[in-house]
């Protein structure tokens, strides 16, 4: 669990006092009385932070700081310094310490600094996990982010479609990412160097379509919003699909093409040809438990691109995100993450829905379930720490878990 503090101090009474303060606030404490005892706990995947006294017999806190940086330069080290020993503290910060605290520590200050360090560590470990997944997983695991059952079902659909050569229709609301899903499908279908041609169907001429097919030889042609295709071009596309060829047709649409063809606005034969294999992208409001993970991912990317330090994403921000229906789906969430990374807050997000779809009680239940799961994930399945963070009595917390069918052990590493 990432709520761990390696506490290093040669004074047993200080260790016990600091350890008690940390444990009473839901943190797991590993106590060590020396550099030698502490160094064996340092590793690149250490799930927490280090709080160490500077002045200790033998190797001191600076030696521990150097050892930690050699093992993992991104492991937050907080140094404890004696009263008025500012030059020593400045040296620690210069050498890479996360922060320093002056003994005796004010409990609120201690917990605030530890909280910031843990937040930083959580982001580092999450980003590493995503990078590892990107390096070791297939394109679906790398690019289609989400831990909900609907996200896993989407990945499964894309993998199944990739195993065929059939035409594919990708359906999803505006902003849900039909183009991205098509790209993943293309990557899973064979050699990534094969042509991937993307065309907007609106205003596309027959000549443009034919040129796109030629360029997609041996690869994939994606028609974005195929429902906007001109009637004459629809017939030309159907004709091309019925001829032998070494290219794959994938169409994206946020329109109900079945209703379109029944209303005479879309060629029925083309509809049935394209609908051989359908992939549906679930809307964000259907899988709200994915919102915290996606938002953190987008904030991390936005911050890296703008060379900014990723801002802290607190429970209030998560609650605001979860309370929205996101009619713009992933694109709207990405835009909100970009604004948040630049310090603009969440005030400019789309307004909540007017109650269409799920009722208020169902929406609140989704928000509550996601917040419970998010807290358990941060605490590695630690129910006591998660309940404390959410300011819930233990019995109430477990009652809510039972109501939502959530098991803490499912979040333990």
Query: How many Å apart are CA 225 and CA 200, to the nearest integer?
Result: 7
**With bands split at pLDDT 50, 70 and 90, how would you rate the model's confidence at 408?**
confident
What's the pTM value of the predicted model, to 2 decimals?
0.58
Taking 90 as the threshold, does the pLDDT of residue 138 lie above it? Answer: no
Extract the tokens encoding 155.
């990945």
Alpha helices by DSSP H, listed for 163-287, are 178-188, 206-215, 231-241, 257-262, 268-274
Residues in the chain: 413
Q: Rounded distance, CA 116 to CA 99, Å? A: 10
Of the listed ranges 1-5, 34-38, 233-237, 396-400, the one predicted with least confidence: 1-5
Q: Which two tokens stand for residue 17?
A: 């006092």
Of 100, 98, 94, 152, residue with least CA distance to 124: 98
Average pLDDT over residues 307-335: 86
| Helix intervals (H) in 216-290 | 231-241, 257-262, 268-274
> What are the tokens at 227?
């429902």
pLDDT at 30: 94
52: β partners = 8, 79
Q: What are phi and psi of 133, to 5 degrees?
A: -65, -40
- In this prediction, residue 225 has a pLDDT band, given cuts at 50, 70 and 90, of very high
**Mutual angle of helices 86-94 and 61-71, in 10-degree steps:** 10
Name the residue among 59, 219, 47, 53 with its Cα closest to residue 124.
47
From residue 113, give the alpha-carbon distance in Å to each of 39, 209, 383.
22, 59, 23
For the cut 60, the answer to whether the pLDDT of residue 309 exceeds it is yes
Give tens-digit pLDDT for 116-128: 899 888 888 887 8
Which pLDDT score, from 0 to 100, does residue 1 have?
A: 52
Q: Indicate if the pLDDT at residue 310 is higher than 90.
A: no
């Amino acid at each position: 669990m990432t709520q761990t503090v390696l506490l290093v101090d040669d004074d047993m009474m200080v260790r016990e006092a600091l350890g008690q303060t940390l444990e009473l606030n839901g943190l797991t404490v590993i106590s060590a009385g020396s550099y030698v005892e502490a160094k064996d706990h340092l590793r690149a995947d250490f799930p927490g932070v280090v709080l160490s006294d500077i002045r200790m017999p033998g190797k001191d806190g600076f030696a521990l700081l150097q050892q930690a940086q050699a093992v993992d330069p991104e492991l937050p080290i907080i140094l404890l310094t004696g009263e008025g020993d500012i030059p020593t503290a400045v040296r620690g910060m210069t050498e890479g310490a996360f922060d320093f605290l002056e003994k005796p520590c004010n409990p609120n200050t201690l917990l605030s600094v530890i909280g910031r360090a843990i937040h930083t560590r959580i982001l580092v470990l999450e980003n590493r996990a995503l990078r590892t997944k990107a390096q070791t997983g297939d394109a679906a695991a790398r690019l289609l982010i989400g831990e909900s059952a609907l996200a896993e079902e989407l990945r499964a659909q894309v993998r199944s479609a990739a195993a065929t050569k059939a035409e594919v229709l990708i359906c999803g609301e505006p902003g849900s990412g039909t183009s991205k899903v098509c790209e993943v499908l293309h990557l899973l279908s064979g050699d990534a160097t094969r042509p991937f041609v993307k065309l907007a169907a609106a205003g596309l001429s027959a000549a443009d379509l034919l040129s796109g097919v030629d360029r997609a030889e041996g690869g994939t042609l994606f028609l974005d919003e195929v429902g906007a295709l001109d009637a004459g071009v629809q017939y030309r596309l159907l004709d091309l699909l019925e001829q032998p060829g070494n290219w794959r047709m994938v169409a994206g649409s946020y329109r109900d093409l079945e209703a379109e063809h029944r209303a005479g606005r879309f060629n029925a034969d083309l509809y049935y040809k394209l609908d051989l294999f359908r992939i549906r992208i679930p809307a964000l409001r259907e899988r709200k438990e994915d919102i915290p993970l996606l938002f953190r991912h987008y904030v991390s990317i936005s911050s890296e691109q703008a060379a900014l330090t990723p801002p802290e994403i607190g429970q209030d921000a998560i609650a605001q995100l979860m309370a929205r229906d996101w009619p713009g789906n992933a694109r709207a969430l990405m835009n909100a993450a970009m604004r948040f990374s630049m310090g603009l807050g969440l005030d400019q997000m789309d307004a909540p829905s007017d109650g269409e779809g799920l009722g208020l009680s169902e929406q609140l239940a989704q928000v509550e379930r996601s917040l419970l799961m998010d807290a358990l994930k941060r605490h590695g399945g630690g129910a006591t720490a998660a309940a404390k963070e959410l300011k819930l009595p233990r019995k109430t917390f477990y009652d809510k878990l039972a109501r939502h069918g959530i098991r803490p052990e499912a979040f333990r590493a």
